[in-house]
Structure 1
Amino acid sequence: MNAKLNIVLTLALVGCALSVVNARYQARHLLIELERLQQHARQLDIDWSQLQLDQSTLGKNERIEQIARTSLNMAPLTPARTQYLTEGAK
């Protein structure tokens, strides 16, 4: 009877030990995944900041006017170049 109890307790102890090993492995695996995702989130924050900076730089009126003048050969509208259309005029 005592030998059977020792075998049962030994099996229970081995089962608990394997459970602890499995839990530690999963915890380590999840920690590695968490660190990877946090690094990815930091990189996305950096990219977002860069995109906001690019948007503010590229959307400035001075830059748009310069491109319109140089690349598209556009000029500001003046009263001398303005044509008014009236309804029914031919």
Structure 2
Amino acid sequence: MGIYKVFDLKNYSFLYSISDKNVQEIKISPGIMLLIFQRTPGYVPLKILSIEDGTVLKSFNHLLHRNKKVDFIEQFNEKLLVKQENENLQILDVRNSEL
């Protein structure tokens, strides 16, 4: 099981930990953290957390093309960039889930 510990970079004090064996990747943007979980055949589960205290701001499933490899999932401020093999780049606004 993966345990991720978050520290305050000002004084290196421990803030909180995230323990979930299904977390595949973590992306950081100003003020928010994106947790990318293991994908299922049709979607990838995602969670957006507040960096300050770890509260879940949003939890959603991003639909994927079933038989296509995911080239990358990147977070850029409040935009999520998702690219799958031989597909157009998807840019998702994470605040309202609009493409």
TM range (shorter): under 0.3
- Flag the structure with higher helix content: 1
Question: For the pair shown, which has the larger CA radius of gyration, 1 or 2?
Answer: 1
Taking structure 2 as the reference length, the TM-score comes to 0.19
Taking structure 1 as the reference length, the TM-score comes to 0.20
